[in-house]
Chains A and B, each alone.
Chain A
Amino acid sequence: MSQSDNSFEPNVIDDEMLQKAVEEQWPEDIRKLAKAEGINFKDVMELQLSFRNILQIDNLWQFENLTKLQLDNNIIEKIEALESLVHLVWLDLSFNNIEVIEGLDTLVKLQDLSLYNNRISKIEHMDTLQELQIFSIGKNNLTTLENVVYLRKFKNLHTLNLTGNPFCNEEQYMLFVVAHLPGLVYLDFKLVSDTTREVAISNYHYLTDLLEHEEAQALAQLEEKQAQQKELEYHKTAFVEYLNGSFLFDSLYAEDTEAAKLAYLPGVDDLLQAYRKDFVSVCENLFNYCLKEHEKREAEVSDFYEGLREVLTANQEEGRRIILDFENQNRTRLDEIHHASSHDTAESMRAEYNEDILQLSETLMTLEMQMVDQLEELIKEFERNIAVITSTFIENVKGMMTQCRDLENRHHEKLLEISISALEKSLKNELDEELPDDVREFLVDKNTIVNMVNKSHNIHLLKISMRECDILLNMYHWEASVKEKALQNEIDRNRNRIKEIFQYIDDLQEQLDNTQIPDPTE
């Protein structure tokens, strides 16, 4: 009925159309059943919306689990509103009026994409479609052959259709494409023969070699970066990011303008070098210690979970055994009740069975209670161990940080000495070296210089304390989260198990209740 106006009037996808499209997909018998139950768009896996004169894509967000969508032979002009269909594997948009490839970024599972017969002039915006295997973009408006190089990204691409594009008339079209896409098996509906491939490679190796080289370099860079990132992550989990080397020391002086000025005083430079050396070595110690502690913590946690897993598996087997025993014993019981000779015997049998079910429930619950007790002990032990680890860690870190502070104090004292002696010298005009003017300004009276040195010292102490605080806080946080997780896991497990037991028992009882027994004899 609506066929006629469909062909003239452009449509927008609406609920009615979707409903109908979904229904049409099923065979007669199922359709009735489904209709009676009501259709949930979430359950639909495939959808066909071909030949419906659709102008704009819309209202598809409900189809969360859709894997195959056909929108071919419409008059769509823009790819849009497909963002939520993240499970899509197959998308057909052929025979439309699309001009730009866009809006596909979220469809990361896409393997088969057809844009045949549209008005696209550039292959672009497809970087996220790494699973792509089949791509059809024939009969479009592609003019520059170099654009095909873009498709090198897709390592799984084995079938490509480019026929009917303007650049296909170029002499070297075929060889160029084959040379640049070495993984291609089928091009334009035809198998790529080995000879073609050889010729193509020999013709274009000067281009492809370059590309390959660039790609390899990019890959290497990426890998390096990732490795660095990974290491940093690792350090972060050990709470020692930027502790190896002189990071911390440099940060001490990063915002300290006074220290920079003081550095011009004679003798300060040497002092600074020595200080730096000592400080960095303490930092290294701290760094290595933290890494070691991190390993220890990880081992402890994995030990715990390993032990937990063993216990749980044993428990699961035990529970399974109890249930299987019960099921095997009572396999025919319902039937017996159903076919009992009289109402009274059936009643008594039913009562007996009910009793058995309760008994089973009791057994399972006892098992679970034992389990809870055992696990509680286990978790407590784990918590104790974690606490021990934490406290030793904190103690040691504090000790090392104190070393840092001592170094700083010593440095401060020496610096003060030098400064004062420099001041005295300057007052006596005995200074041999030429000093910058702003440094000279400080060398006027004792208070200024002492203040300045003190200020620098305070900044340094503050920084050290902050770093210490960071590490300690992280550690406390880690301890809390590990404990929390273990407890929460156990609570969840317990809840689930109790729920499961109840559900199972309910199910048994329901079955029993539903069993018809012979009517009471008159």
Chain B
Amino acid sequence: MEVLEEKEEEEQKEEELKALEISSELHDTKTKLSVEQICFSSDVPDFDWNSIDTSQLPDSYKMNSPREKKLLRIADHYHQQYTHLCPERKPLFLHPVNECGVEKFVSTTVRPTLLPYTELYHWDGCASFVSDYLTMEPLKCPLTPPSSLYSPTTILKYQRGNCFDFSVLLCSMLIGAGYDAYCVNGYATHNICSLDESLEECPLLRKPQEVPKEDVKKSNKYRVKSLPDMHSKFELQQEAKKKAETEATEKKERGERDMEAEEPTCDHLCGLRVHAWVLVLSGKREVPETFFIDPFTGNSYSTMDEQFLGIESVWNHKNYWVNMQDCRNGCKDLVFDLSDAVHWEIMLSETDKPLQLLLGAEKKNELFDRNVDDMEEEEEEEEEEISFAMPPSWVAPIQISPKEFETRCSQGRKVILYKKAKLEKWAPYFNGNGLVKRLTIYADSNWTEAVEVKEWFKNREDMLDMREVNKQTQLTTEYFSPGHLFGLKVHAYKSMNPQTERVMEFYTETRVDGLQKLAENASEMKEYFMGRDDFKYFQHTEFRTKRKKVTLAGVGTDVNSRPIVQIKECFHRNLQKPADEDIAERVFLIEEEMIQLTYHLKDKYITASKKDFFKPTESYRKQSEIMTPEMCITYQAGSSEQHTKLVHLYKLLQKLTEEEKQLKQQVWRSQAEVLKILEIRENEEADIKLSASIYDTERNEKKRQEYEAMMNAKKDEFPGQNEQDLDYLAPFLIQMGSPEKMTRRQALRLRDNCLSDFKNRLVSKANIIQARFEKEVEELQKKNQLFQENQNQLSEKEEADLLADYSETMFRIHILALRLDREKQTAPQKYLALEEKLRKDPRLAEHLGHA
């Protein structure tokens, strides 16, 4: 019976199919010509899907289960009604053939899967993975949906597919991750359909929108009136006018130029190009707003986006909906409430919502009853249809190995062209230098004249994160992650030669000296500090340049080759000191033998106190006068001629002189450090090493060896452990001649022997420790005696040696005492434990169990 029925069904289906084909043919006659043209003009993909191996695929791929067959029948029925109702619309995309040539309903092709990667837990991670992992193939005919839809597993295996394949895979992953996602069959612009982003700005270059800061300044009623403005307002107005005019003309010109450059090509097939993408409804996973994801780019779009021109139908793993809304205005006005039966025609009435089920069913019945007369005989079936649930997906579980996940792009590389920019992506570890991303910015739209290159790196041992090369200025800027040897954060330079222009920034928190930034060029060095205890925040050193020498020496190795002209330091205010004792600026004019101090401003003062020291010359030093009033010019703000004592000045000068020396050293040290950093950087660049996580046993060779060695060692360590524990009775059994069966007396003897032997062992162990302990003590006494006797004759070194020896002996004695103690404590327990064990031994149990 069943077989018969099936046959009937199949026949029926075939008929329906034919009818469908015919109707679609008829329907398409108008556009057919153009379609064919397009079909031919489209590029023939270099991959032949016919050559794929389908023999290994599971059975579910090759045949339909009864439920699936029924589903197909329902779908056909549904489609008939649909074509009847909307004859002017294109046929639905319902059950294309899969890779094995079997018709499968689209909903069953969606296989919800949550993959074990944290990145794939969010929609953007999934979307970027899909867009990276798969290679895009254009539709064979851009105006009709494809005739086939392969399973996501096959698509993953060959890493290529068209927009429908992309969408189904992405949708499967999103539903698996808990999103309310749907595949959409609809129409989009040429740029979207053909993955042409060359007119779009690169997302990496988009500037984040600045949030205008609100001025929360409370206005005080006590304000001074501003001074009357003496400028002519007329002149200002004239100027502003002029400016506006010039700006306007400039803008116009620029606009014209832009217009020329970006003349959008008019697409005569606009609105007919078929595309598939993913719709994510709000609600689940805290998605606040419904949005689209284009699977090719992995970008999200608002449902109002103008690039999406219309929707035919949507489906997920449970159901299929046809859009009944007008798409003349694109997707702007669409309502995405899928339970709304007026806007969305559902195929299987939802089973998990009983109320709606009834309502929906009635409505549908009414709707169809009104229009369709020849459906009466199928009334029964329809009743069935209502309660029919979507059969489980025929697709095998989607699996992505960690390696595949990491490698991402096929062949490990992907290139995207944007407007005046090119983005290249690689899998981590694919490039020897750790390069994962490169963005090239061009001056022109043909991608020929590079202006700027940005490269991102990953897993580098030198922590290089990003490198920016400006081709016009030849300025290279390198950004580092935390963890570089010198706390390097940013390094901007034009050449790696020392004493040329460069800026280095550091991770301040990792540096003892609080250095934040160091800017250097041929004649000066500027250092910026943060969070120092001495409140210094800036230091500026000027050097005397020796141009000839530099050119001759090339890479100057002698750090001290540049004599210091002056060092200037700036300090923040230290609130613990009074303002006119707190130095704000300190200048050491080394060549002029002068030191200038400027103090912080006192409250409400506008002049800062100052002290200028002239260092004593040699002739002065010989004289008895070490400090004269002429050596220091003082300006003390706000205090009238309160003369500072020479003693204090002298002390200050001494201190300053000392600090000057240290400062010079420090400058040389920083110079040396810069050289060192340059050297290290060069070495690092010359020999790039990539680090691998210690959990990554595939890459981390050393770790893997260690791990394997450890495993082997573990195996070796207890070779027989699993087979047999050490038999503590064996020696005694042998003594007794290993009798097959023991008498009670024998058993008791065996036990006693065993226990006494154990006791002896414990005692002897304790004795050994005791003996060693005594020996050590004796030795110690001997040494002590020796030391006492010879104390006076010993040299210092010998004494120290003796003392060291003494303390070591003491240590040993201490340890021995501890061990002895422990032995004494644990011995009874061990004894008892053995006794217990013996009692439970199966060989002795029958004799001792009740003893």
A, B bound: yes
Instruction: Tell me the A residues contacting B by CB distance below 8 Å.
Output: 29-30, 32-34, 37, 40, 43, 303-304, 306-308, 310-312, 316, 319-320, 322-323, 364, 370, 374-375, 377-378, 381-382, 493, 496-497, 499-501, 503-504, 507, 511
What residues on A are CB-neighbors of B604 within 8 Å?
Answer: 312, 316, 493, 496-497
Chain A residue, CB-CB nearest to B641: A503
Residues A500 and B605 in contact, CB atoms below 8 Å apart: yes
What residues on A are CB-neighbors of B224 within 8 Å?
Answer: 311, 374-375, 377-378
Cβ-neighbour of B223 out of A37, A43, A307 (below 8 A): A307
Bits for B624-660, please: 1 = Cβ < 8 Å to A, else 0. 1011000001010110100001110011000000000
Residues B645 and A37 in contact, CB atoms below 8 Å apart: yes
Residues B624 and A32 in contact, CB atoms below 8 Å apart: yes
Chain B residue, CB-CB nearest to A492: B604
Residues B220 and A30 in contact, CB atoms below 8 Å apart: no
Residues B220 and A504 in contact, CB atoms below 8 Å apart: no
Residues A503 and B640 in contact, CB atoms below 8 Å apart: yes
What residues on A are CB-neighbors of B635 within 8 Å?
Answer: 504, 507
Distance between Cα atoms of A29 and B626 in the complex (Å):
8
Residues A316 and B605 in contact, CB atoms below 8 Å apart: yes
Whether A378 touches B222, Cβ cut-off 8 Å, given contacts A30-B650, A33-B646, A323-B607, is yes
Cβ-neighbour of A33 out of B601, B606, B627 (below 8 A): B627
Distance between Cα atoms of A493 and B646 in the complex (Å):
31
Residues B646 and A37 in contact, CB atoms below 8 Å apart: yes
Main secondary structure of the interface of B (DSSP, over half): loop
Distance between Cα atoms of A323 and B645 in the complex (Å):
28
Task: Indicate if B850 sits at the interface (CB-CB under 8 A).
Answer: no
Main secondary structure of the interface of A (DSSP, over half): helix
Cβ-neighbour of B638 out of A308, A320, A364, A496 (below 8 A): A496
Cβ-neighbour of B606 out of A30, A370, A497, A511 (below 8 A): A497
Whether A370 touches B222, Cβ cut-off 8 Å, given contacts A316-B605, A500-B638, is no
Distance between Cα atoms of A370 and B606 in the complex (Å):
15
What residues on B are CB-neighbors of A382 within 8 Å?
Answer: 222
Chain A min CB distance to B655 (Å)? 13
Residues A307 and B647 in contact, CB atoms below 8 Å apart: no
Task: Indicate if B225 sits at the interface (CB-CB under 8 A).
Answer: yes
Task: Indicate if B221 sits at the interface (CB-CB under 8 A).
Answer: yes
Query: What would 25 A/B residue contacts be, using CB atoms closer than 8 Å?
Result: A29-B626, A30-B650, A33-B646, A33-B647, A43-B645, A306-B222, A307-B221, A310-B223, A311-B224, A322-B606, A323-B606, A364-B606, A377-B225, A378-B222, A381-B222, A499-B638, A499-B640, A500-B606, A500-B607, A500-B637, A500-B638, A501-B607, A503-B638, A503-B640, A504-B607
Chain A min CB distance to B157 (Å)? 67
Cβ-neighbour of A306 out of B220, B626, B640 (below 8 A): B220
Distance between Cα atoms of A306 and B651 in the complex (Å):
42
Chain B min CB distance to A238 (Å)? 23
Task: Indicate if B227 sits at the interface (CB-CB under 8 A).
Answer: yes
What residues on A are CB-neighbors of B645 within 8 Å?
Answer: 34, 37, 40, 43
Residues B637 and A503 in contact, CB atoms below 8 Å apart: yes
Whether A319 touches B606, Cβ cut-off 8 Å, given contacts A29-B626, A496-B638, is yes
Residues A307 and B222 in contact, CB atoms below 8 Å apart: yes
What residues on B are CB-neighbors of A319 within 8 Å?
Answer: 606
Using A364-B606, A499-B638 as known contacts, list a sample of 6 further A-B pairs with CB atoms less than 8 Å apart, ordered by residue number in A.
Answer: A33-B626, A33-B627, A311-B224, A312-B604, A316-B605, A501-B607
Chain A min CB distance to B548 (Å)? 27
Cβ-neighbour of A370 out of B227, B647, B651 (below 8 A): B227
What residues on B are CB-neighbors of A320 within 8 Å?
Answer: 601, 606
Distance between Cα atoms of A323 and B606 in the complex (Å):
8
Those 8 A-B pairs whose CB atoms lie nearest each other, nearest first: A307-B222, A319-B606, A374-B224, A307-B220, A504-B607, A34-B647, A507-B635, A311-B224
Distance between Cα atoms of A30 and B654 in the complex (Å):
11
Residues A504 and B637 in contact, CB atoms below 8 Å apart: yes
Of B606, B647, B650, most A-chain CB atoms within 10 Å: B606
What residues on B are CB-neighbors of A30 within 8 Å?
Answer: 647, 650-651
Cβ-neighbour of A511 out of B227, B607, B633 (below 8 A): B633
Chain A residue, CB-CB nearest to B633: A511
What residues on A are CB-neighbors of B626 within 8 Å?
Answer: 29, 32-33
What residues on A are CB-neighbors of B651 within 8 Å?
Answer: 30
Bits for B437-478, please: 1 = Cβ < 8 Å to A, else 0. 000000000000000000000000000000000000000000
Instruction: Tell me the B residues contacting A by CB distance below 8 Å.
Output: 220-225, 227, 601, 604-607, 624, 626-627, 633, 635, 637-638, 640, 645-647, 650-651
Chain A residue, CB-CB nearest to B628: A33
Chain A min CB distance to B696 (Å)? 46
Residues B650 and A33 in contact, CB atoms below 8 Å apart: yes
Residues A316 and B601 in contact, CB atoms below 8 Å apart: yes
Distance between Cα atoms of A503 and B639 in the complex (Å):
9
Residues B220 and A303 in contact, CB atoms below 8 Å apart: yes
What residues on A are CB-neighbors of B638 within 8 Å?
Answer: 496, 499-500, 503
Distance between Cα atoms of A507 and B638 in the complex (Å):
12
What residues on A are CB-neighbors of B627 within 8 Å?
Answer: 33
What residues on B are CB-neighbors of A323 within 8 Å?
Answer: 606-607
Chain B min CB distance to A499 (Å)? 7
Chain A residue, CB-CB nearest to B221: A303
What residues on A are CB-neighbors of B646 within 8 Å?
Answer: 33, 37
What residues on A are CB-neighbors of B624 within 8 Å?
Answer: 32
What residues on B are CB-neighbors of A511 within 8 Å?
Answer: 633
Distance between Cα atoms of A375 and B227 in the complex (Å):
13
Of A307, A322, A381, A493, most B-chain CB atoms within 10 Å: A307
Chain A min CB distance to B637 (Å)? 6
Distance between Cα atoms of A374 and B225 in the complex (Å):
7
Chain B min CB distance to A300 (Å)? 9
Chain A min CB distance to B592 (Å)? 10
Residues A310 and B647 in contact, CB atoms below 8 Å apart: no
Distance between Cα atoms of A304 and B222 in the complex (Å):
6
Chain B min CB distance to A30 (Å)? 6
What residues on B are CB-neighbors of A370 within 8 Å?
Answer: 227
Distance between Cα atoms of A477 and B831 in the complex (Å):
96
Chain A min CB distance to B352 (Å)? 64
Distance between Cα atoms of A503 and B604 in the complex (Å):
15
Chain A min CB distance to B108 (Å)? 72
Whether A308 touches B647, Cβ cut-off 8 Å, given contacts A316-B606, A500-B637, A503-B640, is no
What residues on B are CB-neighbors of A501 within 8 Å?
Answer: 607
Of B222, B604, B647, most A-chain CB atoms within 10 Å: B222
Distance between Cα atoms of A312 and B220 in the complex (Å):
14
What residues on A are CB-neighbors of B220 within 8 Å?
Answer: 303, 306-307, 310
Chain A residue, CB-CB nearest to B630: A514
Distance between Cα atoms of A499 and B639 in the complex (Å):
9
Chain B min CB distance to A415 (Å)? 51
Chain B min CB distance to A131 (Å)? 17
Distance between Cα atoms of A337 and B520 in the complex (Å):
34
Chain A min CB distance to B652 (Å)? 12
What residues on B are CB-neighbors of A311 within 8 Å?
Answer: 223-224
Distance between Cα atoms of A104 and B687 in the complex (Å):
72
What residues on A are CB-neighbors of B606 within 8 Å?
Answer: 316, 319-320, 322-323, 364, 497, 500
Distance between Cα atoms of A511 and B633 in the complex (Å):
9
Chain B residue, CB-CB nearest to A370: B227
Chain B residue, CB-CB nearest to A493: B604
What residues on A are CB-neighbors of B637 within 8 Å?
Answer: 500, 503-504
Distance between Cα atoms of A131 and B635 in the complex (Å):
38
Chain B min CB distance to A230 (Å)? 28
Chain A min CB distance to B463 (Å)? 42
Distance between Cα atoms of A29 and B635 in the complex (Å):
26
Residues A303 and B650 in contact, CB atoms below 8 Å apart: no
Chain B min CB distance to A224 (Å)? 34
Of B220, B601, B633, B651, most A-chain CB atoms within 10 Å: B220
Chain A residue, CB-CB nearest to B607: A504
Chain A min CB distance to B646 (Å)? 6
What residues on B are CB-neighbors of A504 within 8 Å?
Answer: 607, 635, 637
Distance between Cα atoms of A316 and B220 in the complex (Å):
19
Distance between Cα atoms of A370 and B640 in the complex (Å):
25
Distance between Cα atoms of A488 and B225 in the complex (Å):
22
